Amino acid sequence: MKRIIYILAPAMLSVPLLTGCADDAAQNAQDESAVTVDEAQNAVTSSLVKIDSEIFSLPSPIQTAILMHKKEISYREELLNPLANEKKYINQYQKSLNMGVYGADLAYLSNFNNSQKKLDYFKVVESLATDLDIRNNIDQSLIDRFAKNIDVQDSLYKLNADLFKAGDKYLKQNDEDEVATLILAGGWVEALYLAIDAADQDDSFKTRIGEQGFAVNSLVNLLKKHDSPQTIELAGKMAELSKQFEGLVINYAYVKPITDAADKVTYLNSKSNVQISEEQLAEIARQVTEIRKSITQ
C-alpha cells in the first residue's frame, strides 16, 4: 500500500495542483505527502506549522494617488511614462513591469481632468495586459466600465484596482507568479517616483516615502523567489534601495486597540513616526529614479 501511495500521490496531484491553486504551500503538501507515511503522520500531529511565510502585501499605487488628491498635488505630465515608450517593451519582463508603471500613472491621472489622456493610458494598460495573456481572462464588463467612467474619479480608482486584482488572481491561478510580482514592482516603483516628486509640494509625502521601508523589503523577498536573470538583477537594485531605508529612524509605541463589535471595526491606536533627513530623501530619490529609468527606458 505504501508503494501505491508513492505512485498514486504524484499522479493524482499533478494535474489539479498544476492547473489550480498551485502555490508553494500546495507544492509543499504534494512533496510531503509523497515522501513517507511517517512524515504524513508528523504533519497531522504538528502544532502551528507555519507555511510559506513569504506572502507579502505591497501598498497600492492608488493609495498614493488618493493621498495626492487629498493634498491637492498639482499635475505634472512630464512625470508620466510616455505612451510612446510602449513599443520599446518587447519581452515579458519589460511588459509586466511597465503594465504596473502605466497602471500607477493611470491612478495618478484619475485625479485630474483629461479624459483623453486617461483613455490613452488605459488603452496602454489594456494592450500590455493582452500581450501578457491577461486581458482575455478578465471580465469584459470590467473593461467596458472604464470608458463609461473615465471621468468619475472614485469609479476610476476602483476599476483600476479591480483590473489589477483580476490580473493578479488570474496570474497566480496559472502559476505566473513572476509576472504578477513584476507588475506589482512596476506599480510600486512608479508610485514611489510620483510620491518623491510630490514631497516638494507637501511634507506629508516625506513621511509616506519613509514608511516604504517595509514594502521594499517585501518586494525584495517577492523578487528573490524568481530566478530569471533580469528579475535577479532587479532584486539586487531593490536590495540596495532597502539599505537606504535601514538608516531611517522609526519609532513605534503599542497602544491597546479598541474594538466596536457591533460595527465590526477595530481602531488601531498605536503611535509611530519616521524620521527622514533631506540627505536620506535625496539618496532614496536618486536610486528610485535610476531604477525607474531602467524599467521604462
Partner 1 sequence: MKNFLTLAAFFAVLSIQTATAQCDEIADQCEMNLAKEYISDGQFYRALLYNDQVAEFELSLFGGNTYRIAACSGMDSGNLVFRLYDQEHNLLFTSSDFSNAPYWDFVVENTMQCTIEAQLDLNKQQSGCAVLLIGFKK
The smaller minimum CB distance to partner 1, of residues 1 and 84, is found at 1
Instruction: Find the shortest distance in angstroms from Cβ 87 to partner 1.
Output: 26
- Tracing cell 489550480 back to the chain, one arrives at 20
15-54 positions binding partner 1, by CB under 8 A:
16-17, 20-23, 25-26, 29-30, 33, 37-38, 40-41, 43-44, 46-53
Residue 172 engages partner 1 in binding (rule: CB under 8 A): yes
Instruction: Find the shortest distance in angstroms from Cβ 78 to partner 1.
Output: 26
Residue 169 engages partner 1 in binding (rule: CB under 8 A): yes
Residue 134 engages partner 1 in binding (rule: CB under 8 A): no
52-111 positions binding partner 1, by CB under 8 A:
52-53, 55-60, 62-63, 66
Instruction: Find the shortest distance in angstroms from Cβ 153 to partner 1.
Output: 9
Judged by CB under 8 A, the residue of 209, 215, 223, 234 near partner 1 is 215
DSSP track, 118-139 = HHHHHHHHHHHHHHTT-GGGS-
H/E stretch holding 15 reads helix 2-19
Question: Minimal CA–CA distance to 222: which of 177, 168, 186, 189?
Answer: 177
Instruction: Find the shortest distance in angstroms from Cβ 90 to partner 1.
Output: 25
H/E stretch holding 199 reads none
CB atoms within 10 A of CB 167: 24
Query: Cα separation of 49 and 62, whole Å?
Result: 35
223-282 positions binding partner 1, by CB under 8 A:
252, 254, 257, 259, 261, 263-274
Instruction: Find the shortest distance in angstroms from Cβ 15 to partner 1.
Output: 9
Residues shown for the chain: 297
Q: Which three cell numbers stand for residue 96?
A: 509586466
Are 65 and 108 within 8 A, CB to CB? yes
CB atoms within 10 A of CB 253: 9
